[in-house]
């Protein structure tokens, strides 16, 4: 499978200027090609092919208006055309129902929060013996290597985010050598807001709430930004401070997701989660908390890490009544309001924790084995048989046979 590794770059002032020139050239090529296709669509002409766009790019570099496109690597310009093809392909596949719908390709702006250029092997980029990243017409850029690449990367994408940070993103191929040894436990996960994750074995992971904890600092930075005059250098500095504050929150959340997902995958052979309607929940009054939790990013990490390390991943349907069914006897007794955190099964008398019970039902719906611990919080009162109600009958003289009623004791 293909994986992406990102490392922090620290370019010099001259290298930052060269990268800004590369970002701008790639953006102009993308917008020019998009404009050509849009004009052809409005005129009722045939769809402009990639080969024709490439020929137009070669011809435009010879004109005085676009001669400065030759100051950057030709590979990043061709890759910009490939990005446009990918955007159109995703748009058309969404219309055909092959993937989730996306909007039509739009024009890029120099004020976009993310700027990027991609170098393939044809660009002759490489990692120097000194550990620097050599980029054509940019130079040797210092890199902060936080880990070792598992294989030789095929491409590198240089990204500048809204906070003004530069990153080198490598695409590498991995093999089956990273498969973890077999283990026994299998768990279901119930994601929530009060607890970020509740496991079917009874463990609960508290929600870190990174955005909520940083709200005071973010509000202060945003107020300072609103007081600055538009177009001034002080406003640009305040904008960067706001972007860095948000970047710290996003980085902390991503680190928490990585650590928790890796821990769960190392400990369990199979993992089951519920397919949550995150987009729908994000339109309710819980929107800020839902985005702060980042369920989609966490589930995506679980999915690709299980494939990478040889584990099993199961995703059950979002309409599965995990909170309405007793995980002991399987009786469904209807929906319950969110303020009901503990409930007693009317059929078997088990007193259940709402979240742990839901996690156990997620695991059962995926066909996983559920451990007994953690499902039942405490043994509830067992209903008596009809024959035992009222006045007790005399027991027979022979050795009595005890009838087991309800759920066996754990």
Which residue out of 32, 186, 201, 355 is catalytically annotated?
355
Q: Beta strands 376-378 and 351-353: pairing type? A: antiparallel
C-alpha closest to that of 52 among 84, 22, 27: 84
Is 206 an annotated catalytic residue?
no
The position carrying tokens 């702006």 is: 109
Where would I find the H helices in 196-294? 210-213, 215-226, 233-267, 278-281, 287-293
Our answer to whether residue 190 is catalytic in this structure is: yes
Question: Any idea how long the chain is?
Answer: 410
- Taking the CB of residue 229, how many other CB atoms lie within 10 A of it? 8
The answer to whether 355 is a known catalytic residue is yes
Catalytic pick among 32, 83, 186, 190: 190
- End-to-end Cα spacing for the chain: 43
Q: What is the DSSP string of 297-344?
A: HHHHHHHHHHHHHT-EEEEE-TT--TTTB-TTT--B-----TT--EEE
Q: Angle CA(358)–CA(360)–CA(365) in degrees, nearest 5?
A: 90
**Nearest residue to 125 via CA among 117, 69, 147, 82:** 117
Between β-strands 139-141 and 133-135, what pairing exists: parallel, antiparallel or unpaired? antiparallel
The answer to whether residues 198 and 362 touch, using CB atoms and an 8 Å cutoff, is no
Q: Measure the CA–CA gap between 323 and 325, rounded to whole angstroms.
A: 6
Active-site residue, selected from the candidate residues 201, 274, 292, 353: 274
Helix axes 13-42, 50-60, angle to 10 degrees: 130
Q: CA–CA separation, 194 vs 295, rounded Å?
A: 13
Q: How many helices (H) and strands (E) does the chain have?
A: 10, 16
Known catalytic residues are: 190, 274, 355
């Amino acid at each position: 499978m293909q994986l992406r590794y990102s490392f922090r770059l620290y370019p010099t002032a001259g290298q930052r200027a060269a990268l800004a020139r590369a970002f701008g050239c790639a953006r102009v090529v993308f917008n020019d090609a998009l404009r050509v296709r849009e004009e052809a669509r409005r005129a009722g002409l045939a769809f402009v092919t990639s080969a024709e766009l490439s020929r137009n790019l070669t011809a435009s570099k010879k004109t005085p208006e676009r001669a400065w496109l030759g100051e950057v690597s030709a590979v990043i310009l061709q890759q910009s055309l490939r990005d446009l093809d990918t955007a159109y392909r995703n748009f058309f596949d969404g219309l055909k129902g092959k993937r989730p719908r996306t909007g039509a390709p739009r024009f890029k702006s120099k004020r976009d929060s993310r700027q990027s250029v991609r170098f393939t092997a044809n660009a002759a980029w490489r990692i120097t013996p000194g550990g620097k990243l050599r980029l054509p017409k940019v130079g040797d850029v210092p890199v902060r290597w936080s880990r070792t690449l598992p294989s030789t990367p095929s491409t590198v994408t240089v990204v500048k985010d809204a906070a003004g940070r530069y990153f080198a993103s490598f695409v590498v191929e991995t093999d089956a050598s990273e498969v973890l040894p077999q283990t026994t436990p299998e768990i279901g996960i119930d994601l929530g807001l009060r607890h970020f994750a509740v496991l079917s074995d009874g463990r609960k992971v508290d929600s870190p709430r990174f955005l909520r904890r940083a709200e005071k600092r973010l509000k202060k930075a945003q107020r300072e930004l609103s007081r600055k005059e538009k177009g001034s250098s002080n406003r640009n500095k305040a904008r960067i401070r706001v972007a860095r504050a948000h970047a710290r929150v996003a980085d902390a959340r991503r680190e928490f997701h990585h650590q928790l997902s890796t821990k769960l995958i190392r400990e369990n052979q199979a993992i089951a989660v519920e397919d949550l309607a995150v987009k729908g929940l994000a339109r309710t009054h819980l929107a800020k908390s839902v985005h702060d939790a980042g369920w989609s990013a966490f589930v995506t990490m679980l999915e690709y890490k299980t494939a990478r390390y040889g584990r099993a991943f199961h995703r059950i349907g979002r309409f599965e009544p995990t909170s309405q069914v007793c995980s002991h006897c399987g009786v469904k007794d209807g929906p319950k309001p969110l303020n009901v955190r503990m409930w007693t099964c009317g059929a078997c008398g088990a007193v259940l924790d709402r979240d742990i019970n839901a996690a156990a039902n997620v695991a059962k719906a995926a066909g996983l084995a559920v451990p007994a611990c953690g499902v039942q919080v405490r043994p509830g009162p067992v209903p008596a048989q009809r024959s035992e109600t009222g006045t007790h009958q005399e027991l027979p003289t022979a050795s009595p046979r005890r009838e087991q009623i309800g759920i066996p004791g754990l």
